[in-house]
Amino acid sequence: MTKITIKRPDDWHLHLRDGDMLGETVPATARCFKRAIVMPNLVPPVTTGALAMEYRSRITEAIPPGQSFEPLMTIFLTNETTPQTIAEAKALGVTAAKLYPAGATTNSDAAVSQLDYLQGVFEALAENKMPLLVHGEVTDHHIDIFDREKVFIESKLVPIVDRNPDLKVVLEHITTKEAAEFVLAASDRVAATITPQHLLLNRNDLLVGGVRPHNFCLPVLKRNTHQEALRKAVASKTHKIFLGTDSAPHEKSKKENACGCAGCYSAWSGIELYAQIFEDLGILDHLEAFASINGPKFYDLPINSDTITLEKSAWQIPKEIILPNGRPIVPFFAGETVAWRLVDGSK
């Protein structure tokens, strides 16, 4: 197969950032994705429906003329979030709520430190038909960073799911065998997103031959046995796992730093990398379901009617991209050759 046309995909986990950065991230996303779940971990975080709508306006202003793109907004849960916060956000058009354990990732220090206090919020999410999106890691210092997802699922997520059978839950950017097994064994109200980096790489790609800061993301890359488990789960063609790039831009200087930022900026190559992965797994026929159908069905949204076309044509990801502020950013897989190219992205 040298060409594939699929219904226009959506990105169900995306960081656009704010301010001048939107001039880079929004066009990069809108080139092929029709919708995207936009993460709320700004500084300060997007904690209410009103803040989400203000952020949405800034995003829509950055959409290039002639492009069709819809940001699906989320709010950032804190210890102060109430059921009223959820009801008001839903009324304003917010799609979902994001649960970050405090300190788990970029700009998450203000997030939840006491999950037990949020039971009323979880009930309100279920009542308002708003999915709970979970960054699934504990942050206890005595827990090894490579075990944090596994421990979170066992100690935190299982009780949340068991106590809230009507709540839809997305375990974001899964990285472990245990996460894949949990999602596949759970009810259809539990799903997961998976990133290109966690399918393509393992922790050797982060640490062997020197630290590779542009492969550093959170949750961190795991050993190759977990990578293979993720690839096997995707190859099963399950409807419970769908596209979420977790594209997360940082300026080059903030990545190549004594305390470098976590995140891989994959917006300009995400759909092409997924196509390459799916071809390698022998499931290119499943790309449309993964990228364009499973997510909308889980979120009870319409499947896009327009299409994109990818062609088997090698190209090289740029080594750097210059941001609107003139500073460079290093994209994910910078300088690497990709087998598939987007040749027709619907407007």
Annotated binding site for Zn(2+): 13, 15, 98, 135, 173, 246
Please report, in range form, the residues annotated as the binding site for substrate. 15-17, 41, 135, 218, 250, 262
Picking from 240, 231, 126, the residue whose alpha carbon sits closest to that of residue 183 is 240
Q: Tell me which of 140, 246, 280, 306 is the catalytic residue.
A: 246
Q: Is residue 246 among the annotated active site residues?
A: yes
What SS3 class is residue 246?
Answer: coil
Provide the pairing of β-strand 307-316 with 337-345. antiparallel
Cα distances from 238 to residues 23, 234, 270, 290, 309, in angstroms, run 35, 7, 20, 8, 23
Cα distances from 102 to residues 34, 47, 113, in angstroms, run 31, 14, 6
Could you give the CA distance from residue 257 to residue 121 in angstroms, rounded to a whole number?
38
Could you give the CA distance from residue 42 to residue 64 in angstroms, rounded to a whole number?
22
Neighbouring-strand partners of residue 91: none
- What crossing angle do the helices spanning 224-235 and 270-280 adopt, rounded to 10°? 90
Could you give the CA distance from residue 133 to residue 192 in angstroms, rounded to a whole number?
9
Classify residue 258 as exposed, middle or buried by CB count within 10 Å of its CB (0-12, 13-18, 19+). exposed
Please report, in range form, the residues annotated as the binding site. 13, 15-17, 41, 98, 135, 173, 218, 246, 250, 262
Cα distances from 250 to residues 71, 168, 262, 263, in angstroms, run 20, 31, 8, 7
SS3 content of the chain, % helix, strand, coil (to 5): 40, 20, 45
Residues forming the active site: 246
